[in-house]
Amino acid sequence: MTDPQEHLTQNSTQSTSQNTSQGPAHAVQAQPFDYLIVGAGFAGSVLAERLAASGQRVLVVDRRPHIGGNAYDCYDDAGVLIHPYGPHIFHTNSADVFDYLSQFTEWRPYQHRVKASVDGQLVPMPINLDTVNELYGLNLTSFELEDFFASVAEPVEQVRTSEDVVVSRVGRDLYQKFFRGYTRKQWGLDPSELDASVTARVPTRTNRDDRYFADVYQAMPLHGYTRMFQNMLSSPNIKVMLNTDYREVVDLIPWRHMIYTGPVDAFFDHCYGPLPYRSLEFRHETHGADFLLPVGTVNYPNDYAYTRVSEFKHITGQRHHQTSVVYEFPRAEGDPYYPVPRPENAELYKRYEALAQARTDVTFVGRLATYRYYNMDQVVAQALNTFKKLMSQSQG
């Protein structure tokens, strides 16, 4: 992979020692940072950009060796643009979010398509007319599919869990073929133990639309996410310090207000116990073929230990004589990726949220800091709203 250090912005603070040695430390102490931002992912970078544009001096600290958080992309050894933390597809219905990000990147239109490997066939996912016809050897029309779903759906009095959502919509057989195994692998929990919101994210269609997302805006940053983040962080008012846990510098470098985008439970030393997160292990492979998969992602709900395989060239549009894919193996331990949506976890989060709200010197933003199963666009929207609140507080 390319050297992650090359993604340091030109303003980067290269090491902690620079700030603690006599000369630079003196200069820093003379003019404290207005904001210390923990995390250079979407939440941290959007806020850094907005604050810097309004004249604030910002220090962004990330413990990883690169900017971009989980959306970071880079070229692998073969020269294929990959997403080390799994495939990231940008999609949103928000014109505000899309317009905001468009200041930092051009776009390549891209509609993600997914197939699921079920009963030895690769069929469209989300379930649509072709999925049902191919799977059961039928020739239904859209109208007939509505009747089909109605005949197999199992009425549920109150839809509470992820199982309820699917079974009440498409019945038990499709639930078992497409959702039960996948969810168990992904979350280590049965769908009956997870909030309805998890499977409610995946629609069911009676037409032949085989796009994974139906949002108004669906596109990939033309030159990749990392380039977009570099542009966002390019203001002279922003310094970026990588390979640094904020705890290493929090007492060394003067700042007025902190924006924290890491895991909220870690910030409070897990005082109420750890919030459950789901992790992933990624297996990246490069093959000497033009393409391996028919579409961007193939899901394996019922076979293998991995949940899905994704092929980056479909997603990025890159032309290359080789191709790189990533397999995702869900794990209980490891880097926190997904907050686990369950009522008891929401309760535990509320206790941390109360602590967070009491901290007037720190603002908590982003997927891990607010324990929300947010997509990139939702994190951008949350960060833009947070910026507005910070501005109105400072003016009020």
Site for ligand FAD in 302-361 (CB under 6 A): 337
Least distance CB 267 / ligand FAD (angstroms): 8
Residue 43 is a binding residue for ligand FAD (CB under 6 A): yes
Q: Are the C-beta atoms of 19 and 59 separated by less than 8 Å?
A: no
Q: Indicate the residue among 84 and 171 with the shorter CB distance to ligand FAD.
A: 84
Residue 299 is a binding residue for ligand FAD (CB under 6 A): no
Least distance CB 175 / ligand FAD (angstroms): 23
Number of residues that bind ligand FAD (CB under 6 A): 33
Stretch that binds ligand FAD, among 60-68, 98-106, 157-165, 180-188 (CB under 6 A): 60-68
Radius of gyration of the chain (CA): 23
- Residues 6 or more apart from 27 whose CB is under 8 A from it? none
DSSP state of 177: I
Q: Indicate the residue among 36 and 80 with the shorter CB distance to ligand FAD.
A: 36
Q: Indicate the residue among 81 and 280 with the shorter CB distance to ligand FAD.
A: 280
- Cα–Cα nearest to 68, from 80, 52, 56, 82: 82
Q: What Cα–Cα distance (Å) separates residue 193 from each residue in 241, 301, 338, 342?
A: 40, 18, 16, 7
State the Cα angle at 296 between 294 and 299, rounded to 5°.
85
Least distance CB 150 / ligand FAD (angstroms): 32
CA–CA separation, 101 and 377 (whole Å):
10
Least distance CB 266 / ligand FAD (angstroms): 6
Q: By rule CB under 6 A, what string of x and - marks binding of each residue 257-296 to ligand FAD?
A: ----xx-----------------x----------------
Site for ligand FAD in 196-255 (CB under 6 A): 245-246
CA–CA separation, 51 and 283 (whole Å):
37
Q: Are the C-beta atoms of 233 and 40 separated by less than 8 Å?
A: yes
Q: Which residue number is nearest to ligand FAD in terms of Cβ?
A: 69
Residue 108 is a binding residue for ligand FAD (CB under 6 A): no
DSSP state of 276: P
Q: Indicate the residue among 165 and 381 with the shorter CB distance to ligand FAD.
A: 381
Site for ligand FAD in 363-392 (CB under 6 A): 366-368, 374-377, 379
Q: What Cα–Cα distance (Å) separates residue 205 from each residue in 129, 287, 290?
A: 7, 34, 31
Element containing residue 297 per DSSP (H, E): strand 297-299
- Which residues form the interface with ligand FAD (CB under 6 A)? 38-44, 61-64, 69-71, 85-89, 245-246, 261-262, 280, 337, 366-368, 374-377, 379
